[in-house]
Amino acid sequence: MNSYPKKLRLTASLVTCLSLVGCAGGQFETAAPPSDHPGASTSSGLCVATRSEMTVSVGDTFTDGEWVRDFYSGEKARVADGKVTLTPAPESEGLLLLEAVEAPQQSFNWAGATVYFTVTDRFANGRTDNDRNYGRHPDGKDEIGTFHGGDFAGLTEKLDYLKELGVNAVWITPPFEQIHGWVGGGDRGDFQHYGYHGYYALDFTRPDANFGTRDEFRTLVEEAHARGIRVVMDVVMNHPGYSTLQDMQTFNFGGLRDGFEKHLPDQWGDWKPESWEDFHAYHALIDYDHPDWANWWGKDWVRAGIGDYATPPNASIDPLRGSLAFLPDFKTESDKVVDLPVFLRNKDNTRAEQLDDATVRDYLITWLTDWVREFGVDGFRVDTAKHVEPEAWQELKAQAQEALETYRSNNPGQPLPAEDFWMVAEVFPHTVTRSSYFDAGFDAVINFDLQEEARAGAACLSEMEPIYSDYSEKMNGDTPFNVMSYISSHDTQLFSRIADNDPAMQKRAASALLFTPGTSQIFYGDESGRPFGPTGSDGHQGTRSDMNWEDIESGTAAPVLSHWQTLGQFRDRHPAIGAGEHQRLSTEPYVFSRTHGDDRVVIAFGKE
């Protein structure tokens, strides 16, 4: 029972993940290749930062006689002959962060934003009474793919922590109700993989009970807004979640092979493999040609290769109509009017309703934008954007903007959201270039290059100069655009592993990331050295380990964390760091400026 007929291997229900990156996010690709930028290096040797007095050229960024302040130390100096002389703070890693003493308050700019990405289930557990729902259980082993208890309440409790980190936008994984059961995780089926990450949606109209209630989500958004933090919600239009034994039983869709029900416990989701089997083996119990698969999403909604559903091609052959990691593929391109899926019609607590003359795309966009209309979500991070037709994204953006305006009209007392809805696309392996996605409703695209490039910058910040200048020149050209860069993610690697768990490099990585032109994305725990977790035969599950609050509360993470906080607060004060034009002012010491309107900073790094 550890091998399957070809028919089963092609079904949307069979998830092997094949050690792929992003079984949660639906990517087939591995981590981004090394950058070809000049100056990018794989050397892990750290240059020695200076603690000596530095004379820094400020060019014409600050005028003679003007007083500037080093944000890190608080020390001030008057500009004379285009220069200032200051000594870096002992803990600053040789940095001077120069701003005008009388610097005006700056307006928020997405290109200068710091976005904190958190996997809700793994971040903070605010309520332990909602840790068990829908018949889900811990596995009692490594808990690789189970729910860990993180929720909206926990995230709300940590908003002050994010504010202290200089964060002005938080990206949360999809909050929707997930498949109730599990599928086999990893290529060996060696763990139970639930939808703890949010990418296996069952009902797009409700929050998953493990994450919390609608009121708790509303509180999260309102409390974030009260602190000047925008909320970016992860959304998926390419696929729903897999079918599972538990959902088949609960919602009465699909069917078992004749006589095979005797092999299942009373609660099908409690099935366990025999000693010679793995967690993929349950597929042998299922009749994937059974007519009751019509009671699931239905052949007009998805391609799934079961019953009379269309069989999707491999996504590498047809990126728009293909299946990612054997997930059911929504027919978002279809102009056929569809009914609400049978299982949703019969689901007691869904908010999904039959829509008149609606296509699959119409339903999905309505469901997603309802979260904006009701809660005031400020933006979407769009999963697997290249696997959905551009027209769908254009329509989503337009309706999300309308929904945001409706929310603002209905909630005039809310200080946020801003007037313009923001959308950023995940398009692996997009780089710093203005592609067609910017014409499809997106304000930014995730940049996959920086993770590798930042290794050299964490060792010695001056190594980032060719990267910073290249990024700035491209993004501030004749047709400006924006990207969101990261050094760690749930679908690639943790930078702490790239840095061989060296705290000094983890500390310096803050400079490499937070001084990068464009939007910067912090992955939860970048700032605290969060360790890689249990991963089984899926090498990327370990990137989603629990947030290391114990290290923060005990002070173990303090040297790294305090450095990130100082640099994050400086970036928050000065959108020009991300949104402004970059100019190198000196090589030794390495000095550069960023200017955007009346926002001006000079950043200097000295080494022995």
Query: Which residues are designated catalytic?
Result: 383, 426
Q: The dihedral of CA 65, 67, 72, 73: what is its sign?
A: positive
Q: How far is the C-alpha of 500 from the C-alpha of 509, rounded, in Å?
A: 13
Q: How far is the C-alpha of 284 from the C-alpha of 297, rounded, in Å?
A: 21
Q: How far is the C-alpha of 288 from the C-alpha of 460, rounded, in Å?
A: 56
368 CB-side CA count, 13 A: 32
Pair 527, 165: CB distance under 8 Å: yes
Cα 437 to Cα 110, 300, 322, 334: the distances in Å are 17, 27, 19, 21
Where does 309-464 have alpha helices with state H? 342-345, 360-375, 390-410, 450-459
Residue 505 neighbours by CB under 8 Å, 6+ apart: 44, 46, 458, 459, 499
Q: How far is the C-alpha of 558 from the C-alpha of 555, rounded, in Å?
A: 5
Tokens 């009373």 appear where? 266
Tokens 């090394």 appear where? 34
For residue 524, what is the DSSP state?
T
Cα 215 to Cα 125, 219, 377, 559, 589: the distances in Å are 17, 6, 14, 37, 52
Compute CA 229 distance to the chain's CA centroid, rounded to the nearest angstrom: 16
User: Per-residue b/e over 295-309, b at no fewer than 16 CB within 10 Å?
Assistant: bbbbbbbbbbbbbeb
3-state secondary structure (DSSP) of residue 384: coil
Burial of 252 (0-12, 13-18, 19+ CB in 10 A): middle
